Amino acid sequence: MKINSWSRGYLRGAAGAILCAGVAVMWTSHASGQDAESRAVEGQPAAAQPAAAAQPAPAAAPAAAPARAAAAAEAQVSFPIKPAKGNVTNGQAERTNAADIDNWRLHGRTYDSQRFSPLTQINKANVKKLRPVALIQTGVAESMEGTPLVIDGVMYVETARDVVQAYDAVTGELFWSYTPVLEKSEVCCGPQARGVAVSEGKVFVAQLDGHVVALDAKTGKVIWKTVNSELLPAPTHWYPFTSAPQVHDGLVLIGNTGAEWPTRGFFAALDENTGKLVWRFWLTAGPDDPNFKGAWEGESWKIGGGSVWDAASIDTKNDLAIFAVGNPNPDLYGENRKGNNLYTNSIVALHIKTGQLAWYYQEVPHDVWDFDAASPVLLFDTLDAKGKKVPAAAEANKNGRVYIVNRLTGEFIRQSDAFGLQIKDTYMVPPGPVAAVYAPGNHGGPMWQPPSYSPQTHYFYTLGSNQANIYKVKPMTPWVPGSPEVGIQYGNLPATPDERKALASQIPPPSGYLVALNADTGKIAWQYDSKYMMFGGVLTTASGLLFTGEPSGNFLAFDAKSGKNLWSYNLGIGVCTPPITYRVKGVQYVAVGAAGCHYLENQMKNEGRAVFGDTIAIFALPGR
């Protein structure tokens, strides 16, 4: 039997999986728990503010030392099979080179996070011929939410539990694998990880246990590792990282998750050569912040939460890091944190060199619905109300709206039409002591899944979920720092069996969608509906294509302008990983993870489907 290139790639990927699976026993487990028709909702724009919220690094924090790197090596297992080939430097000049269309160097391909590729070899006429040419088995059978990076033919992958691997981006051959032995950490929503960053020959991974680690891009060996007591507030195990780090101008930029515990979230910059803290911006405005008045009642800012679920975008021209901030703490119950609860549920822009606030825009003040701003912020130019083209930043909120603001000032430009399931009687109505059905629920609307923007269509594309919840407020006593630790802070009292029975007819089965919104008008252009909640992400290309996946196992291609489904390939398990495209030696490839979908475990079991897998599929046209 002739072994074709697809088979050879598959066998090489499988061999790599055996090595990875051999160290799987060293992972540590993490706690899991709860994550939470059209009515206009306006946020609160703010002009540029002088910010006292940025905090300098502690004076006593030492630079990373060889001893620290050695200690880091003891807490991980690394399998260098062979050095990664090619130029894996990925320096600042390479990351900002607009002429480079071959690579996927950053979380959103480019610093604007548009997830739009100029490649055109795969187009609307030939996409039906697309076929897998290599399959990679990572050895980690868990939902894969990380965006792979491809740099000069080397693919860098982060799976759940922070396993980082380097592969040949054409054949699937494994170069090296890094598996951390994770320390104690409280993680609300599964052992998820959303990707790595690469700069100056180093791969940066922000781990579930609060450590940020720099690996050698060629070998996977540890170069430096942060010390939790120097970087994180206490108790440090309430401050995990699940978002992908961003790199720019010598800095590693990262924000913590953990707002489900009584924490004070932050966004920080680390020196990429040492891991030393350069500056920190607190995600809850304190008394030294000019925006503190009206933000928090009493001392609730000290435990007010705020999470960063995805990588920051960078406006390189104006030296701004722009990112979204998630929910306040506690979820749903807001009586102990009266005020607008800045900077939760906001788009925030910081000056990269100093960490000082440039502007903010709060999408949902005083959130009591778990309407995180959780997805990446996209940067593009759009038309304002007067028809003038202006620089913009946009974010898809869990409440079923995309908010578009001026990315230089934070001033409100527009919000999109409402999309997804929204129950009129309760939408944006604070929950009370009587059980009622709310939609979107805490897993509804767009969540972490990265959207895409096409400068050709001027459409903003996002995935989302139709999911309703029963909310019934549970009064909570504020946690006092220094007192015994508490669990997840979730102000929802479970409905009684009688309440659930009475409300059952108001709760439709969960489903999902892909929606295309005209960014210049906010109007819905087209929508694809799925019987499944849709996670993963969206990719658009200059050939007018859009790629995404769904939990059915289908990897899909659409006409980005019309929404017509042009192609589908079933990978046998849920496709909830952001797809990417790249070119090696003149050949365009599309890659996507097929590993199952977090939050859909029970539905998959009930349908007799596999729940989790570990595959990354690489596609190309025949003869390429």
**What's the residue count for the chain?**
624
pLDDT at 76: 57
User: So what's the pLDDT on residue 36?
Assistant: 31
Query: Which is higher by pLDDT, 524 or 63?
Result: 524
613/603 Cα distance (integer angstroms)? 16
Strand pairing class (539-541; 116-117):
parallel
Of the residues 112, 315, 370, 372, which is catalytic? Answer: 370
Q: Would you list the domain boundaries of the chain?
A: 5-620
Residues whose CB is less than 8 angstroms from the CB of residue 579 and which lie 6 or more positions away in sequence, other chains included: 536, 537, 538, 539, 547, 548, 549, 555, 590, 591, 592
Mean pLDDT to the nearest integer, 584-602: 96
Residue 426: burial class (beta carbons within 10 Å; 0-12, 13-18, 19+): middle
5-620: which CATH architecture? 8 Propeller (2.140)
Omega before 509 cis (within 30°)? no
Give the per-residue pLDDT at 466: 97
Rounded Cα distance between 391 and 492, Å, is: 40
Please give the share of the chain, as a percent, with pLDDT higher than 90: 83
3-class SS of residue 349: strand
Residue-wise pLDDT for 55-106, tens only, equals: 434 333 333 333 344 344 444 566 777 888 888 999 999 999 999 999 999 9
H/E segment holding residue 225: strand 222-225
Q: What is the mean pLDDT of residues 401-411?
A: 98
Residue appearing with tokens 């549920």: 345
Question: Looking at residue 82, what is its pLDDT?
Answer: 82
DSSP class of residue 418 equals P
Give strand pairing partners of 151.
154
Tokens of 392: 């913009």
Structure confidence at residue 72 (pLDDT): 43
Under the banding of pLDDT at 50, 70 and 90, the label for residue 447 is: very high
429-454: average pLDDT = 96
**Residues 559-590 pLDDT 10s:** 999 999 999 999 999 999 999 999 999 999 99
pLDDT classification of 7: cutoffs 50, 70, 90: very low
Section 20-29 average pLDDT? 29
Residue 59, phi then psi, degrees to nearest 5: -60, -30
Phi, psi at 558, each rounded to 5°:
-125, 160
pLDDT above 60 (res 114): yes
Q: Residue 364 above 70 pLDDT?
A: yes
Percent of the chain with pLDDT over 70: 88
Q: What is the pLDDT of residues 225-282, one digit of tens each?
A: 999 999 999 999 999 999 999 999 999 999 999 999 999 999 999 999 999 999 999 9
pLDDT tens per residue, range 166-200 = 999 999 999 999 999 999 999 888 899 999 999 99
* CA 459/CA 522 separation, integer angstroms: 9
Contact present, 221 and 449 (Cβ < 8 Å): no
Determine if the pTM surpasses 0.85.
yes
Could you give the CA distance from residue 306 to residue 242 in angstroms, rounded to a whole number?
A: 13
Longest dimension (CA), the chain: 74
User: Could you confirm whether 289 is annotated as catalytic?
Assistant: no
| pLDDT class of 481 with cuts at 50, 70, 90 | confident
Structure tokens at 66: 């060889």
> How many Cβ atoms sit within 10 Å of the Cβ of residue 200?
16
Alpha carbon 476 to chain centroid distance? 30
Q: Rg of the chain over CA atoms, in angstroms?
A: 23
Residue 510 near residue 88, CB atoms below 8 Å: no
- Determine whether 11 is exposed, middle or buried from the number of CB atoms within 10 Å of its CB (0-12, 13-18, 19+): middle
Overall average pLDDT of the 546-550 stretch: 98
Q: What is the mean pLDDT of the chain?
A: 89
| pLDDT at res. 128 | 98
* pLDDT tens figures, 318-348: 999 999 999 999 999 999 999 999 999 999 9
